[in-house]
Amino acid sequence: MCEANAYIINGEQEDLFMEKVDRVIPENGQLILENIFGQKKIIKAQIKELALVDHRIILKRNEGNEE
Amino acid sequence: MCEANAYIINGEQEDLFMEKVDRVIPENGQLILENIFGQKKIIKAQIKELALVDHRIILKRNEGNEE
């Protein structure tokens, strides 16, 4: 299975936000993440980088009114 | 290997833009895609959807000045 783990940048570090993510859908400045179990999480963030071979999705929180 | 194929929405259909994509980095309203061979492509587009288990990255071209 080729799901990835989603991490959110928190200062100098990356915090695990969701494991085994299958789908990511940007919508209205938010991201809808769905894992392989069908569970969903919504976060006001952007994709900063995908590194699929490493199974990594790096997210960055939106600041202020930025989308 | 868990790379994915990137498709660009073209009207009603999806055209293959790049195969075996490893990395995707959004930058200044553009996307930098890099495949597992280290080849890069840049496109003025956004990520519309990731479906990693299906190995699919769906892109949508930016229209006008939208980022």
pLDDT digits (tens, 9 = 90+) for B1-56: 789 999 999 999 999 999 999 999 999 999 999 999 999 999 999 999 999 999 99
Any A CB within 8 A of B16 CB:
no
pLDDT value at position A67?
43
Q: Is B5 exposed, middle or buried (CB count within 10 Å of its CB: 0-12, 13-18, 19+)?
A: middle
Closest Cα in chain B to A4: B52
User: Is the ipTM above a cut-off of 0.85?
Assistant: yes
Q: What is the pLDDT of residues A11-66, one digit of tens each?
A: 999 999 999 999 999 999 999 999 999 999 999 999 999 999 999 999 999 986 54
User: Is-contact A57 A5, C-beta < 8 A?
Assistant: yes
